[in-house]
Amino acid sequence: MHVNAQTNNDSLRKVIQTNRPYEQQINASIKLVESYLNKDFDSTIIEGDKALKLARKHTDSISVAEIKSQIGVANYFTGKYDIAARNFIESITILELAKEKKKLAPVYNSLAKLYRKTRDLDKAMENYNKAGNIYQQLKDTAGIAMILNESGVVFEYKDDYTEAVNRYTSSMKLAEKAGDSLSVSYSLSNIAGVYVIQKKYDLAVQNLQRALHIRQILKDSFAIALNYSDLGVAMSGKGDYTKAIEYLTLSNKMAERIKYPELQSNNYNELSSVAQKQGDYQKAYEFFTKRSVLRDSLFTLEKTKQIQDLNSRYQTSQKEQQINEQKSKLQLQNYLFIGIAGLILFSGLLIHSQYRRLKLKKESQLQSEIMKQQQMAVKAVLKAEENERERIAKDLHDGVGQMMSAAKMNLSAFESEMNLTNPEQKETFEKIINLVDDSCKEVRTVSHIMMPNALLKNNLDNAIREFTNKISNKTLQVSVYTEGLEERLDSNVETVLYRIVQESVHNAIKHAGASKLDISLIRDKDGISGTIEDNGKGFDTSNKENFDGIGLKNITTRVEFLNGTVDFDSTPGKGTLIALHVPL
């Protein structure tokens, strides 16, 4: 049977390790964990941790809950009650939210057993009742039988043996009706336990022998190990010490194989008691020492006082032991409470983390809103600036321009009326008329620059070329290269880029003293990239004061308005390069 089980485990591992769909992998993982449960608790925990990683990777909370329940059972039987409690509670939390009643009931039962172990009998019954109610709703006879059997132990601990036996018997009848022989064996063992308390040892042995026969047929090593231990206790009470030692030794061998230290500890405790009854105090001491070592590994508490007491009794040939069971129970409860306190602390930290995350999210939203308002403010300023430019341009064109044109016309009429004969006066008058004419042209040029009709009528490419053609002369040679600007852009983008080119040309003429200016604007899938390079006198970019001027500030502000970036590369005497990128 062991070979078959191993073969089955190997096939399950093959499913997990190959590239199968997640459903197949997680089902195989859960079955593998179940295969070790009640056979090898260490392997249960190891395989359970692997299965947890797989389930969490796929955010499968239901499978996480199932696996945690199995890991909790393994930790329960290895005496790690605080870890078991944490796993049970986490599993219950998930399954309650998901309303997975069928999977929830067994976990309630496991948590109830844990409370029963630590003698918190009220909480044990509370969880048994929760599990029982679910099984009643589901009409699950096997589940109802299990809860009757398990909860009977609570009444046994309360010394209510009549109710305990009633529950054990009711459970056994339901199990017999359902054909569940293993559950029948557990009911028989529990009834035998009551008989041992009542010192009805023969009846106890009869029930335990019936239970053992069933379990041997089923080849359930875990249940058989428990059965041998119970028979050892019954035989010891009956006074058959040889049989007691035989059964307890058999139980210990099986408990060691399945890694069940608590059962080993209980067996050594009983063997120590049998040795004392036989008057063999050295063996009693040896058995109790083994028991204490196991108890230390289970509860991580020092038991030197009990060991020293027993050693002293062995040396003085005294027959009585003094074991403080109440202290052990209290220590177990403390561990459970520490586990629960840790869980509460963890929950508090989780809530604090959620609060911090929410706070940071709010701060991010606030910062985003501030940036949005700042962008709106910059947009409003730029729009106001364009409106003001448009107003001034109209005033220059319609006001000053018309007045200058009228002045020229009046001067021409005046010239005809005066009939100037003096060559010098005539030359002077013509200079005045030419000066007025040049002023008219200058006003018209300035008004067109401030409110570019070309940009209103054409795309950005044509507007820039029209502008540069007007200012390109022998003093400043301007070269323009564009790519991908044939289609119209958003009006804000076109206006801002046009103003950046204007500002750069103005800086090259007024501040840099350049004789050559190269302008390049290229549109691609990422946006618009541009370079404006002159051969002027340049400036020191490491000196922040150079960036305090209106020109460079205007360029930077306009690019930032479009969520773009701009860099200035310049060295005194080596010209200036402006590189910008604007996303679209």
Q: Is the pLDDT of residue 516 over 70?
A: yes
Task: Taking residues 251-278, report their average pLDDT.
Answer: 89
pLDDT score of 357: 82
Confidence of residue 17 (pLDDT cuts 50, 70, 90): confident
pLDDT score of 555: 83
- Could you give the CA distance from residue 10 to residue 32 in angstroms, rounded to a whole number? 9
Q: What are phi and psi of 519, to 5 degrees?
A: -120, 130
Question: Which has the minimum average pLDDT: 107-116, 447-456, 559-568?
Answer: 447-456
- Could you give the CA distance from residue 443 to residue 437 in angstroms, rounded to a whole number? 10
Cα atoms in the 13 Å half-sphere on the side-chain side of 548: 4
> What angle is formed at CA 20 by the lines to CA 33 and CA 45, rounded to 5 degrees?
15
Q: Is the pLDDT of residue 271 over 90?
A: yes
User: How many beta carbons lie within 10 A of that of residue 44, not counting itself?
Assistant: 25
**Global confidence as pTM:** 0.48
Confidence of residue 314 (pLDDT cuts 50, 70, 90): very low
> Which tokens is 186 given?
């557990």
pLDDT score of 406: 62
For the chain, the average pLDDT equals 80
pLDDT score of 444: 62
> Which tokens is 559 given?
């690019």
Pick the CATH number of 457-583 from 1.10.3720.10, 3.40.50.300, 3.30.450.20, 3.30.565.10: 3.30.565.10
Cβ(122)–Cβ(85) below 8 Å: no
Question: Which has the minimum average pLDDT: 139-148, 343-352, 370-379?
Answer: 370-379
Confidence of residue 409 (pLDDT cuts 50, 70, 90): low
Question: Which has the minimum average pLDDT: 12-26, 343-357, 513-527, 558-572?
Answer: 343-357
pLDDT score of 456: 54
- Name the residue ranges covered by the structural domains of the chain: 1-76, 242-322, 354-448, 457-583
Q: Is the pLDDT of residue 391 over 70?
A: no
Q: Is the pLDDT of residue 111 over 70?
A: yes
pLDDT score of 438: 65
Residue 579, H or E segment: strand 576-583
The better pLDDT of the pair 449, 223 is held by 223
The better pLDDT of the pair 292, 317 is held by 292
Q: Is the pLDDT of residue 363 over 80?
A: no
- Could you give the CA distance from residue 76 to residue 260 in angstroms, rounded to a whole number? 10
Three-state SS string across 276-336, please? Answer: HHCCCHHHHHHHHHHHHHHHHHHHCCCCHHHHHHHHHHHHCCCCCCCCCHHHHHHHHHHHH
- Could you give the CA distance from residue 265 to residue 552 in angstroms, rounded to a whole number? 84
Confidence of residue 316 (pLDDT cuts 50, 70, 90): very low
Task: Taking residues 447-472, report their average pLDDT.
Answer: 68
Task: Taking residues 448-453, report their average pLDDT.
Answer: 56
Cβ(299)–Cβ(79) below 8 Å: yes
Please tell me whether residue 524 adopts helix, strand or coil conformation: strand
The better pLDDT of the pair 421, 99 is held by 99
Task: Taking residues 48-59, report their average pLDDT.
Answer: 91
- Could you give the CA distance from residue 347 to residue 504 in angstroms, rounded to a whole number? 60
- Could you give the CA distance from residue 224 to residue 202 in angstroms, rounded to a whole number? 20
Question: Please, which residues bridge with residue 522 across strands?
Answer: 483, 529
pLDDT score of 435: 74
Task: Taking residues 19-47, report their average pLDDT.
Answer: 88
- Could you give the CA distance from residue 24 to residue 87 in angstroms, rounded to a whole number? 24
Sequence-distant contacts of 28-37: CB under 8 A, at least 24 apart: 29/54, 29/55, 29/67, 30/63, 30/66, 30/67, 30/70, 33/67, 33/70, 33/71, 34/70, 35/5, 35/8, 35/9, 36/74, 37/70, 37/73, 37/74
**With pLDDT > 90 as the criterion, what percentage of the chain qualifies?**
30
Task: Taking residues 395-417, report their average pLDDT.
Answer: 61
pLDDT score of 151: 93
Q: Which of 3, 27, 7, 2 is nearest to 15 (CA)?
A: 27
Confidence of residue 441 (pLDDT cuts 50, 70, 90): low
Q: Longest Cα pair distance anywhere in the chain, in angstroms?
A: 159
Q: Is the pLDDT of residue 122 over 80?
A: yes
Q: Is the pLDDT of residue 109 over 90?
A: yes
Q: Is the pLDDT of residue 129 over 90?
A: yes
- Could you give the CA distance from residue 419 to residue 429 in angstroms, rounded to a whole number? 11
Task: Taking residues 271-295, report their average pLDDT.
Answer: 87
Cβ(531)–Cβ(518) below 8 Å: yes
Q: Is the pLDDT of residue 548 over 70?
A: no
The better pLDDT of the pair 333, 257 is held by 257
